[in-house]
């Protein structure tokens, strides 16, 4: 059960990042937010590795995979998510990001021959219905800017590609090693863009408590703990099952945006959240049922008498 808990916690933290980003975006441009988030998280992770003695050397042949990993996420993922989020509401953005499980089974089957169960596919369908309910107005018009939607789907495909590489590396390296390296490499990817486009604006901003707390929460919870929990759950549950939990993100975002940002939470959104959660339960029905039966009908072990 702890791996299911890890997946849920990862989605909770990622759901909250949409709210924290909206707060930080009142001060900084998206590139600045991404770059600072990666720098702070990298510093924290590498400091912990040094203090705890958790350093793991890389095999020579895996260097290219880490470069590709960081290119997919954080680079392309954060570009799509952050610039899309600047044009679309936090709730709608999280709903689009939650379509990742729709593409994960196809990618998992094509590249790693990992099959999705009937329950997983049914759960995806139910959850996606809830996402559509949150994304579309009553007159069937799209409740979002088209360019923002396209940018967010770029993030979706980057996340699917990222999951494929993580599945390959998680058997060799710990979650801590993977996250620390991906964030460090990603910060170098973003450094030229930050210096060229955002450095002057960055220097003109005077940080206050609201901005500093939002940036720290993005770095600690969004770029450290969420990834640690997610990679651990992928290694144990598999790419398809772990990514299904992504459907929880819009539910967490909608509630937190309502509380912290004052975004509307009407009956349509609540119904969508309920369908999202129902889809998660359907997708995990077989595993949860087996787990409950094992706990209910434990067979006692009898030690032979000598």
Residue ranges covered by each domain of the chain = 2-296
Direct distance between the N- and C-terminal alpha carbons of the chain, in angstroms, rounded to an integer: 37
Residues 173, 154: Cα–Cα separation, whole Å: 27
Strand blocks (E) in 167-300: none
Tell me the torsion sign for CA atoms 78, 84, 89, 94: negative
- pLDDT grade, residue 289 (50/70/90)? low
Tokens representing 187 are 């910060």
Three-state DSSP class for 142? strand
What is the predicted pLDDT for the residue at 125? 83
Per 3-state DSSP, what percentage of the chain is helix, strand, and coil (rounded to 5)? 80, 0, 20
Nearest to 269 by CA among 141, 143, 88: 143
| Nearest residue to 7 (alpha-carbon basis) of 283, 194, 212, 210 | 283
Q: Which pTM was predicted?
A: 0.79
Residue 125: partners with Cβ closer than 8 Å, 6 or more residues away: 279
**Could you report the per-residue pLDDT of 30-88, keeping only the tens digit for each?**
999 999 999 999 999 999 999 999 899 999 889 999 999 999 999 999 999 888 888 88
Q: Which of 52-66, 162-176, 187-201, 237-251 has the lowest mean pLDDT?
A: 237-251
């Amino acid at each position: 059960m702890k791996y299911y808990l890890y997946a849920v916690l990862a989605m909770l933290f990622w759901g909250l990042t949409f709210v924290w980003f909206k707060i930080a975006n009142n001060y900084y441009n998206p590139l600045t937010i991404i770059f600072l988030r990666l720098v702070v998280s990298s510093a924290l992770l590498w400091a912990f590795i040094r203090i705890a003695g958790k350093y793991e050397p890389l095999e020579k042949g895996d260097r290219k995979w880490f470069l590709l990993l960081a290119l997919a996420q954080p680079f392309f993922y954060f570009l799509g998510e952050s610039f899309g989020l600047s044009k679309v509401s936090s709730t709608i953005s999280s709903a689009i990001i939650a379509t990742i499980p729709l593409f994960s089974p196809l990618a998992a089957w094509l590249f790693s021959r990992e099959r999705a169960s009937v329950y997983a596919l049914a759960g995806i369908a139910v959850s996606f219905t809830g996402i559509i309910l949150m994304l579309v107005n009553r007159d069937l018009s799209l409740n979002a800017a088209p360019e923002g939607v396209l940018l967010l789907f770029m993030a979706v495909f980057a996340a699917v590609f990222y999951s494929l590489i993580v599945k390959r590396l998680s058997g060799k390296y710990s979650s801590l090693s993977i996250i620390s390296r991906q964030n460090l490499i990603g910060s170098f990817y973003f450094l030229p863009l930050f210096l060229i486009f955002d450095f002057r604006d960055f220097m003109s901003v005077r940080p206050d408590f609201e901005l500093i707390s939002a940036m720290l929460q993005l770095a600690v919870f969004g770029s450290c703990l969420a990834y640690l929990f997610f990679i651990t759950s992928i290694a144990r549950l598999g790419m398809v099952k772990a990514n299904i939990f992504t459907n929880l993100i819009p539910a967490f975002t909608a509630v937190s945006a309502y509380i912290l940002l004052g975004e509307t939470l009407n009956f349509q959104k609540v119904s969508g959240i309920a369908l999202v959660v129902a889809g998660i339960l359907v997708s995990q029905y077989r595993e949860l049922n087996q787990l409950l039966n094992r706990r209910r009908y434990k067979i006692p072990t009898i030690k032979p008498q000598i």
